[in-house]
Chains A and B, each alone.
Chain A
Amino acid sequence: MAKTMFEKIWEQHIVAEPEDQPALIYIDLHLVHEVTSPQAFEALRITNRKVRRPDLTISTVDHNLPTDDTRNEVIKDPIARVQVDTLRQNCEDTGVVLYDIDSEAQGIVHVIGPEQGYTQPGMTIVCGDSHTSTHGAFGSLAFGIGTSEVEHVLATQTLRQAKPKTMEIRFNGELKQGVTAKDMILAAIGKMGTAGGTGYVVEYTGGAIKKLDMAGRMTVCNMTIEAGARAGLIAPDDTTFDWMRGRKFVPKGDDFDAVVAEWRELASDDDAEYDELLEIDCDELEPYVSWGTNPGQVARVTDSVPSPDDYEDPADVSSAERALEYMGLSGGTAIEDIEIDRVFIGSCTNARIEDLRSASQIVKGHMIASTVRAQIMPGSTLTKLQAEKEGLDEIFKGAGFEWRESGCSMCLGMNPDILVPGERCASTSNRNFEGRQGKGGRTHLVSPEMAAAAAIEGHFVDVRDWDSE
């Protein structure tokens, strides 16, 4: 029978299917960070259980690290410091590798997994973080879990999972210049809503997906969870293999060729069937800007903020009313008339070297608006070093951007980088929830190019009209 890529990976990982129980799935790679792991390690200690496969577990610190030059001193926030120290101790006690603050391989967990070559096609990958879906860009089944499940994976290297349904999201046509992977996924979430994917694993297909580079594919898969689906996959192809070749933990030489041959088999069979299909025409897409307080509340840059009256469903109406009030916006305001105070280029969604290169192309030869504070937090320390090698830091600094260290930073504001109440931010991150970037802060989700252009103009502009130097 014809199978989807998800079904192939799923079947290869079934350890047991006891009667009346969800399947027990083997986990190939477990990523760990400081925030969602301490209670899991503690539970193992209390129950006198071991980490079954420390060799399949890697950890880093990313969520609550400072990104300024105090970073290598002691973390000032005493509770954050305890959390980081606890991870260090847990890794030392259990033999799990830790990419600590002073390691070149440190970075946002979903950036370093692929960067180091840990993330590989056909794997099952979990992490106590909902954006684990990012790794699906390599054709792996990757999803976020809670702390009790982290404990379960640490102890057993397996997870009990009900089999999800499958959805194909097919991006037809071609992206216009200035329209990015971020716009593809924002458009899809806008169409589906933030619960449209609940219960599904998504596979992204179509010509526009095949044309995306790996960074773009990771951006798309990363935000799968914002549509409610825990995992999003893209079939691995030459783009994938070229990107992976030579990375530290990827097989080398003949082994690489052999494993690539296996990875090619993962793609969904031609006549495989999905439970749902959503088609999106990329010729129609524009740059998108979120206007509300969930990632489904998006508008085209050439459009206006909608009014609550534009909705029929009473829940959507009240949701729009609340969102507009929180965001300090009124229906009918042109997106390009929205002025911003802050710009954040960062996060596991859009802080890879490719994202920084794209943003630098916009910034080159310009200065940021005097009313704007703009910051860049590269996705990993290696990304930062690479950008510096290419001189991107000079472009950004010269334009008035702050060039920071890597970490999750202002995507969720667990570290000192937060918005103050009322501040409005063009952000390349993934969530515009109330208070996400700081209590009272107002987040607009955009692509790196759109964020860079907004930094310079002080308000949103259509990056398709940008006159790059």
Chain B
Amino acid sequence: MEKFNKLTSIVAPLDRANVDTDQIIPKQFLKRIERTGFGEFAFFDWRYLEDGVPNPDFILNEDRYQGANVLVGGRNFGSGSSREHAPWALKEMGFQAIIATSFADIFRNNCMQNGLLPVILSESEVDTIMARALRGSGYRVTVDLESQTVTDDQGLSASFDVDPFRKNSLLEGLDDVGITLSLGEAIDSFEKKRTARW
């Protein structure tokens, strides 16, 4: 799995609640059999006009947010479908961390599997980051997984929770399947008991 450790980046704001995975990557782009090739279609219906030209009214199209690796969103980010194409698309669009007050469960798991760090902060902290990102340009935060903090140069210092197992997997870029296969004996003995019953 791709590692995540620490990053300092411009913050792109998407001030909407309940951004669902149908918005992040619409269904017509789910037919690919690869994990790549989704980035240009992220937020497709919001991002492009009918003729395929970038929609100037969509905030993530603004010049000042180009190159951002951190996205700050509204509550319940990533609700809806289980499509892992959503984090794949966001990663390819350049994002490595998403900050919000809450995430949908399946989306959050999917992000963790792809080195895209979902960061849950309090409402006032997210509001602060959102307001600073919306104001002017070049607003940056540092997301540090090791210390579990988000900081900026205007005095913000916020900490977040992360499951210790997931944290370690992200820091080390570990292979989840490989870790589980190392517990093969436990799976074997569970299956023996199970077969006796079923």
Contact = CB atoms under 8 A, between A and B. Distances in A.
B102 A195 contact: yes
Interface in A139-170: 144-149, 151-152, 155-158, 160, 162
Interface stretch (A177-185, A239-247, A378-386, A430-438): A430-438
A21 B180 CA distance: 11
A36 B75 contact: no
Contact of A39 (B27, B35, B74, B165): B35
Interface in A109-156: 128-130, 144-149, 151-152, 155-156
B27 A414 contact: yes
B106 A148 contact: no
A22 B175 CA distance: 15
A49 to B, nearest CB: 7
A22 B187 contact: no
Interface residues of B, number: 50
Nearest to A155: B177
Contact of A435 (B22, B75, B82): B22
A188 to B, nearest CB: 16
A149 B177 CA distance: 9
Interface stretch (B12-20, B52-60, B61-69, B135-143): B12-20
B45 interface: yes
B28 interface: yes
B9 interface: no
B165 A64 contact: no
A324 B184 CA distance: 53
Contacts of B84: 36, 39, 128, 146-148
B80 A433 contact: yes
Contact of B26 (A156, A194, A431, A439): A439
A16 interface: yes
A199 interface: yes
Interface string B170-198: 00000111001101001100110010000
Contacts of A439: 26, 45
A221 to B, nearest CB: 16
Interface in A5-23: 15-16, 18, 20-22
Which range contains the number of A residues in contact with the other chain?
Answer: 35 or more
A24 B180 contact: yes
A16 B20 contact: no
Most chain A C-beta atoms within 10 Å of own C-beta, residue among B17, B102, B191: B17
Nearest to A193: B76
Contacts of B194: 26
Given A35-B30, A414-B28, A436-B22, A157 B187 contact: yes
A302 interface: no
Given A24-B183, A36-B83, A294-B20, A228 B31 contact: no
Contact of B33 (A42, A158, A162): A42
B17 A315 contact: yes
Interface string A28-51: 000000011011001000010100
Contact of B114 (A148, A194, A198, A315): A148
A230 B103 CA distance: 13
Interface stretch (A79-87, A266-274, A367-375): A79-87
B23 interface: yes
Interface string B75-89: 110011111100100
B79 A195 contact: yes
A361 interface: no
Given A198-B104, A228-B104, A439-B45, 4 more contacts: A15-B190, A148-B113, A158-B180, A436-B27
20 contacts: A15-B187, A24-B186, A39-B84, A47-B175, A83-B31, A83-B32, A128-B82, A144-B106, A146-B110, A149-B113, A151-B177, A156-B177, A160-B165, A199-B105, A228-B105, A319-B16, A413-B28, A431-B20, A431-B22, A435-B22
Interface of A: 15-16, 18, 20-22, 24, 26, 35-36, 38-39, 42, 47, 49, 52, 63-64, 77, 79-80, 82-83, 86, 128-130, 144-149, 151-152, 155-158, 160, 162, 194-195, 198-199, 225, 228, 230, 294, 315-316, 318-319, 322, 412-414, 431, 433-436, 439
